[in-house]
Amino acid sequence: MNDRLSLTSLFPRCLTTCLYIWTAYITLTRIHQIPRWFLALTIVPTLAVALYTYYKVIARGPGSPLDFPDLLVHDLKAAENGLELPPEYMSKRCLTLKHDGRFRVCQICHVWKPDRCHHCSSCDVCILKMDHHCPWFAECTGFKNQKFFIQFLMYTTLYAFLVLIYTYYELGTWFNSGSFNRELIDFHLLGVALLAVAVFISVLAFTCFSIYQVCKNQTTIEVHGMRRYRRDLEILNDSYGTNEHLENIFDLGSSMANWQDIMGTSWLEWILPIETFKYKKSKHTKDEKGLYFNVRPQVQDRLLSSRCLEDQLLRRVTPRPSLEADRASVEIIGAN
């Protein structure tokens, strides 16, 4: 099983690396209408930074609640019944609860699930702020590597555009000069040109979508779950159902604020594949670890009010122990 997983991870990474190197080699050796020094000056640095960010995404990883020992659940049944509670820093700031008002628990990983955390069936582990599982990386995109993933998409789009322009310029010159009457087309160059078109169009579209997601401060999973979330809000309070701001509680109010929250506050952080400055400042704290997230105060107040209403409704339909009883039970268990 481990060998299979290793092969599954190794194949897409080797394939991606080989495609990068092969396209760069063909572009540098088969194009003669553009000075070689100019090709090297533009292709090689772009190739290097694209490959660096690719492996940075893999090496950094998305982050998991399993990285935090205090998030491990000791008794799954007690956690499901509210007799075991998560750490205080999570219980105070966690906003996405289950329908019964209790905190989310992963029954597979036996761990508390912070806001925006989901279990990846491919990786078989919980991922902090999971966006999606990318087969080209054999890795998830999550809290810790999302910035580098966005940068990888931008650098790859630029690289594909450069290769596209150079190869089609060479092929266009070959055709316009009438060389097709004397010699066959360079099939290696043609293959790279066709690949560059496909990659540029597809990656450009995904890059635009991903940047849009960052500017909205929402993940792909959250987009798919937005319809259910909106329906829950309508049930809780009809007056909130048409309020677009309540659809995404993690939207900080502006595209720039959302962008800076993930990519950093300076151009240097946006361009270079480095850790954000605020992440470095909070290195020895729980901040910027993907365990909780900032929201707009007015949205937080409204959501908490909705949660209180939901809890009252559930208490009437299904009687369950009060919060005080839960706390007393926890104290008794701790004393024993």
Looking at the annotation, which residues are catalytic?
A: 134
* Terminal C-alpha separation, the chain: 41
Length of the chain counted residue by residue: 336
- The 8 Å CB, 24+ separation contacts for 182-186 are 186/30
Q: Report the alpha-carbon distance of residue 188 to residue 185 in Å, rounded.
A: 9
Q: For 283, list phi and psi in degrees, rounded to 5.
A: -60, -35
Task: Let me know: does 142 contact 221? Beta carbons within 8 Å.
Answer: no
- The 8 Å CB, 24+ separation contacts for 201-206 are 203/153, 203/156, 203/157, 203/160, 204/157, 204/160, 206/153
Helix (H) or strand (E) holding 56: helix 36-60
Q: Report the alpha-carbon distance of residue 107 to residue 129 in Å, rounded.
A: 18
Q: Report the alpha-carbon distance of residue 84 to residue 174 in Å, rounded.
A: 72
Extract the tokens encoding 4.
């299979």
Task: Let me know: does 252 contact 299? Beta carbons within 8 Å.
Answer: no
Extract the tokens encoding 163.
């290769």
Q: Report the alpha-carbon distance of residue 103 to residue 94 in Å, rounded.
A: 8
Radius of gyration, alpha carbons of the chain? 25
Q: Report the alpha-carbon distance of residue 147 to residue 239 in Å, rounded.
A: 36
